[in-house]
Structure 1
């Protein structure tokens, strides 16, 4: 009797796709998979950030040469800017992680990371490696190499600095060190409990020609990767563009290219390739003992493959799977077994999934799972059995017999016995604990490399085919239909029983006046309990506690507290919300990130807010804000009492702008909003008639117009990356340093990540240069803040990174930005 068994438990899974639960099963995928079965080679590409990878080369290696191909990004891109929203820092890193995974689904490579945090632009590897913790990141790279076992390692950047960014150079330095360390049993010996040492054959630098920097040379090894793949119906320049265009937060939508495209390589360590990147490396089945007969059988299957009846190859593929399962080389046994199992389901037209009935569950609650199985072909699986074993709850078994009929969907819902949700939340593993500037804190070093958590709910499907049990894993997803978008899959969320979001991130106090603090609570189970606010001494909170009873799952409600300063306070304190339910305290909020090009992201940040004591005076009330690429400056201004109105093009062109005490232009607005060309004359007329216009930084490339102000200046690729860099007042008597707040050097204490970016140069003499600053060892740069009187009004352009400092609650940044908004009458 042929049987099917479903094991549903709630641990250890990988999110391989978000648009579907099954791998692709089209004929092109089947043909590519058949070709890949006979290739036993691997290549690992190493660089620093999302977008550093050569997507064309990755696609070529994975889908033309059929190597197991991986991209190791040392960081998740947390320190960059966001062109599609206002997420920054860790949240931006979450989005870019998913953008990289989306890119890999297109080009066919795999994705890995280290624990390194992208702390922002770095001008050299010395700073980078110190902040990252050189040895920890090296250990992560060694771990990935020992697990992935690449025959060839390729760097995007050199160790000599031509890559510009200190992170780029550091990625090459670490890759070079890891090439040797991975083979040394004395380096990171604790890893050898799980993996073996590994020596790659060669380390290459993928040289490049970027703008004015050309590191390629005629004597370097080169390959043409611009070839056309007839099976896929496209070339690798087309695939690469689709892959790279997933980097939407960086605005990297890319045109497709076709035709000859050479990539150049310089040997760093190991021997130099001669006719291919893997020359001299055995990438056939003969590299493993007993592999030759397997290759022969795969070739027979390929030769006799019937495109009209792909299911006819299933018995032979099952036989190959049995042979592969008997080889001694565990690495290639596991890798090729996975490839074979996916190929068998594709040829069999076998589709199966497990999904939850609700999008979210609280820790400890039970979960109902629906399984579906379908095949269009008559296969030797006439009967099946569904069995659930709740590994992490009270033992319960449910056995029911089923018949799998070709062309008929089998659907079964298990309302009991699926077990209780595991104790771990749907919290990205690298964000579970507070982290330093340069490195994330991992709960377990063996998690390094993983792009996502490995412990989400999953189901195992086992088929008895031809006398061999073949087991598959599927992530348990939540599935629903959107009227505009169709069928959508989303990760199942494992949540605290009740979350608490303090509705403002910062509370600004410049007097002893009390403020109302609102907390939004959301229940993920039927809950009763209480909510309290905790703050250090010097604050009075009332009421002390608010109770709630019988809140049903899905309930959302808001509770309000009064917070009053009562004595001497630190400049910054932390306010914490604590929910107590069923005798346990929880202090987590909930945050959801949703974009169409990536899966929904849910995380549970600490239920905290900053209490900021600022000696702050304000002048004026009404602010008009023109959105740019996305920032949280309007929310920050609202916190200090401003009335902020988001200006549309119609507002700018057809309303009286004189009602605004200042108009602020958001970050990179002149990069992303082409309509500013039309709006600019009206905005400058507002200034000329007595208005105050404050423009935040833009990138020098891709400006929608040449002149951003009433007088000329140039945006250049210059920045000050040391957030503690000394600041000199060039014009200490200017009003922006004196009204309504007297700015002093202490106002530049406590800044985060950097001072500013994309400074100005070639500055017209009408502008006042207010500040100068420079990184250690560099000249002072006067281009971070320039101010010009224009007609009756004032124009301000600033490259200071207020978009980071204000949401972070930096007191001095608030004081200075308020001055920029406040023009003496």
Structure 2
């Protein structure tokens, strides 16, 4: 029975584990763990996006006060911009999820999410909550509260709009509604099969001073969170900077602050605190029956702790572990059991890991796992090792009696890759239980992801990663250590590296381009890249589509060894000249089953490697598109996919170097285009700008895509003044009025009409311009509902013999999305009449 209770406690929280091979075991961690073990209070922080959280406050709550601290970000930041790469949308959301987890590893808090999708900037909560599906996202927040059981909640933003973003305001509305709903058994009663109702003590608003908006006041309750922790050797302003600087896609590298720093709070619901955030909450073991005895035991162990011999504390901690199992509170058992076990392992000097020798496997593969167990203490016996894949027990391995204090165990077994937690809760998905993020398994609406099972909600990652459980015994008392099974290898530059194991389809197929643009009945070659993750035979085909001829019908392949990558080629041609916008789907048949999944890998040094399996699809777009000119130079900015889009319609795109700008002949290019945010991040544009202006003056065509208003490396981007401002049109269907219908950018080589603004995604544009010099011509006018018409999305000026174009229209989203009208308009911007 005791073993069952201990194992159950682990399984309650294993989905929250970070992707690490083992927790830290240094003396700093041990001392902090002793303090945390004696605290039972909990705090949940709520906001809308990655980077909204107050990392200084989270670090203070988690590492100074030692409360269980969580951050509920309603979205994964999918709709934001990316300053370090060209990933957008769902893939950007995956990166920002991992950035949040990296931040939490620094500040000590836990991370949660709802199913809400960051669909881009929203100007008000009415739009946001409608798109998100208010009731579903509220239910997710209630679920997290009922599982996490916070004593107090803190929201980052108010309901009154000072947060400046509809998502921000909506997060405050959701927090207030969830505060009451979590305690009401009539609200979301279907959750009560798994959790109980929970009443939070109070909801506070963490007021702020951002730019010109100051919501703090001297009479508000405040806490100095800048205190110094001598065990860490840091103040929480330093910890917070290290945490926040993980938000690299947002460019949030932050300077460390030292000394006092006050956070202010306004009580929204519940009674107001007077002396402490936790006023009225018992955060000690005394809050539960039998807890005082456990607190006394811990006090004695901590008093007698010997930093030179931490293993002396292990017998006492094992007694505490046994006493925790006797209390009548499954939540506390679930939280404190793994804390005690990790502390036992750290004090005992136990090193335990399990790793695979290959990075990826397909369903039914044989996975060879290597485990290493090293004991630096006497008397510990390894009773057995079990896994979610049914590894046979290794019985009674007495580590002390070995000639050396370590032993490696290697076993090989057939991993039933579907027999994991996801399958056990009956998640029937299209991915066949591959390593697909659970919120991306099925297609979703604009505002919310589809999550098939309630129990998945809140998890930052898939909770079904392969794991191994090690059962130890000392003096007749048992304890467990659980480890995720990782892939381990040595990189010559980075050293030892751990990555998540990838469970893949038998064969993946990627269509080389995301869009194929046709402007005639001329055929195009479609290449597909295949990769086998097991020995495979079968066929690859492109699913037939009305209005298109695809040859051949299929291509067979035989006995492709695991790891083989190869390319197959199809020919596609429209059967008539009618405009079309269709989805092309690649299908692999192997082992009697169809698979239509590509593979995408994302790797950055500050986060673990990400692998996902997007649909094996591309767009076939037949449009009336004329082009003028051929050679385009591209000056990269923060990262976008515009060059690939231009290549698809027949342009020769060359990425400019500084040497070419300063010393080359720029007149050979029909247009030069700057990537998004180039004037925010490219410091060398200060030096290069005169050469670009000289190119325009001598007859060139310079097209500058959007930049944010601060910081700009130049005060004047164009030949004449204008100002970049924080104005945008978020309604992708907003009416567009032609201010200057005769202008060449609306007529050459394509005649632009209202139909060209149909089917746009996410928004019309962002960071429009104002204070526009009279020598510019404004071309378009648009606005969101209830706002004045805005002419700042596209301006054009003649300069010398050439033309300068500045556009805030979000071509960086529209072109990769295959929006026909966006292609036609952007081609016009590249095409200066001779």
Same-fold status (TM-score > 0.5): yes
Deviates more, 1:404-413 or 1:317-326: 404-413
8 Å contact 2:670–2:700 — kept in the other structure? Answer: yes
Distance 2:684 2:365 in 1: 51
Q: Does 1:384 align with 2:360?
A: no
**TM-fit CA distance, 1:539:** 1.0
Structure 2 SS opposite 1:410: strand
**TM-fit CA distance, 1:760:** 0.2
Q: Does 1:545 align with 2:554?
A: yes
Matches within 5 A, 1:690-729: 690-729=699-738
Matches within 5 A, 1:473-512: 473-512=482-521
**TM-fit CA distance, 1:674:** 0.2
Matches within 5 A, 1:199-278: 199-278=199-278
Q: Does 1:354 align with 2:351?
A: no
Deviations 1:574-594 (A, max 9, x none): 111000111111000000000
**TM-fit CA distance, 1:59:** 0.2
Q: Which residue of 1 aligns with 2:410?
A: 413
Q: Which residue of 2 aligns with 1:800?
A: 809
Structure 2 SS opposite 1:803: helix
Distance 1:417 1:534 in 2: 34
Structure 2 SS opposite 1:100: helix
Distance 1:747 1:407 in 2: 74
Distance 1:353 1:492 in 2: 14
**TM-fit CA distance, 1:564:** 1.2
Distance 2:814 2:244 in 1: 30
Structure 2 SS opposite 1:416: strand
Deviations 1:556-586 (A, max 9, x none): 0000011111136552101110001111110
Q: Does 1:334 align with 2:334?
A: yes
8 Å contact 1:13–1:457 — kept in the other structure? Answer: no
Q: Which residue of 2 aligns with 1:81?
A: 81
Structure 1's 770 and 108: CA in aligned 2 closer, same or farther, altered over 3 A? same
Q: Which residue of 2 aligns with 1:62?
A: 62
Deviations 1:761-800 (A, max 9, x none): 0001110000010001100000000000000000000000
Q: Which residue of 2 aligns with 1:647?
A: 656
8 Å contact 1:366–1:420 — kept in the other structure? Answer: no
Structure 2 SS opposite 1:544: coil
8 Å contact 2:386–2:469 — kept in the other structure? Answer: no
Q: Which residue of 2 aligns with 1:753?
A: 762
Q: Which residue of 2 aligns with 1:154?
A: 154
Structure 1 SS opposite 2:570: strand
Deviations 1:700-741 (A, max 9, x none): 011111000111100000000000000000000000000000
Structure 2 SS opposite 1:368: strand
Q: Which residue of 1 aligns with 2:369?
A: 369
Q: Which residue of 2 aligns with 1:289?
A: 289
Distance 1:276 1:448 in 2: 32
Q: Which residue of 2 aligns with 1:566?
A: 575
Matches within 5 A, 1:603-682: 603-682=612-691
Structure 1's 303 and 398: CA in aligned 2 closer, same or farther, altered over 3 A? closer
**TM-fit CA distance, 1:366:** 1.9
**TM-fit CA distance, 1:338:** 1.4
**TM-fit CA distance, 1:301:** 0.8
**TM-fit CA distance, 1:280:** 1.1
Unpaired runs of at least 5, structure 2: 420-431
Structure number with the bigger relative contact order (C-alpha 8 A, sep ≥ 6) is 1
Deviations 1:355-395 (A, max 9, x none): 01100000121211100011223x212x4355557757xx9
Q: Normalized against structure 1, the TM-score is what?
A: 0.97
Q: Which residue of 2 aligns with 1:167?
A: 167
Q: Which residue of 2 aligns with 1:593?
A: 602
Structure 2 SS opposite 1:61: helix
Among 575, 584, 608, the alignment partner of 1:575 is 584
Distance 1:192 1:667 in 2: 48
8 Å contact 1:802–1:817 — kept in the other structure? Answer: yes
Unpaired runs of at least 5, structure 1: none
8 Å contact 1:318–1:466 — kept in the other structure? Answer: no
Distance 1:769 1:263 in 2: 45
Matches within 5 A, 1:93-172: 93-172=93-172
8 Å contact 2:365–2:414 — kept in the other structure? Answer: no
Q: Does 1:743 align with 2:745?
A: no
8 Å contact 1:535–1:573 — kept in the other structure? Answer: no
Deviations 1:386-410 (A, max 9, x none): 5557757xx9667685645496331
**TM-fit CA distance, 1:35:** 0.8
**TM-fit CA distance, 1:195:** 0.4
8 Å contact 1:13–1:456 — kept in the other structure? Answer: no
Among 417, 430, 434, the alignment partner of 2:443 is 434
**TM-fit CA distance, 1:16:** 3.6
Q: Normalized against structure 2, the TM-score is what?
A: 0.96
8 Å contact 1:375–1:406 — kept in the other structure? Answer: no
8 Å contact 1:11–1:458 — kept in the other structure? Answer: no
Deviations 1:410-448 (A, max 9, x none): 111112365556451000000001011100001212211
Distance 1:172 1:15 in 2: 25
Distance 1:318 1:440 in 2: 43
8 Å contact 2:521–2:577 — kept in the other structure? Answer: no
Distance 2:645 2:417 in 1: 41
Distance 2:39 2:469 in 1: 28
RMSD of Structure 2 on Structure 1 (CA): 1.8
Deviates more, 1:531-540 or 1:610-619: 531-540
Structure 1's 13 and 604: CA in aligned 2 closer, same or farther, altered over 3 A? farther
8 Å contact 1:662–1:692 — kept in the other structure? Answer: yes
Deviations 1:73-116 (A, max 9, x none): 00000000000000000000000000000000000000000000
Q: Does 1:343 align with 2:343?
A: yes
8 Å contact 2:547–2:574 — kept in the other structure? Answer: yes
Matches within 5 A, 1:463-474: 463-474=472-483
Deviates more, 1:337-346 or 1:241-250: 337-346
8 Å contact 2:472–2:479 — kept in the other structure? Answer: yes
Structure 1's 658 and 252: CA in aligned 2 closer, same or farther, altered over 3 A? same
Distance 1:679 1:387 in 2: 62
Q: Which residue of 2 aligns with 1:446?
A: 455
Deviations 1:225-284 (A, max 9, x none): 110000000000000000000000000000000011010000000000011100111111
Structure 1 SS opposite 2:337: helix
Structure 2 SS opposite 1:711: coil
**TM-fit CA distance, 1:605:** 0.5
Deviations 1:142-172 (A, max 9, x none): 0000000000000000000010100000000
Structure 1's 503 and 15: CA in aligned 2 closer, same or farther, altered over 3 A? farther
Distance 2:388 2:54 in 1: 44
Structure 1's 630 and 31: CA in aligned 2 closer, same or farther, altered over 3 A? same
Q: Which residue of 1 aligns with 2:426?
A: none
Q: Which residue of 2 aligns with 1:554?
A: 563
Number of positions where the alignment pairs a residue of Structure 1 with one of Structure 2: 815
Deviations 1:311-347 (A, max 9, x none): 0000000000111111001111211111111111111
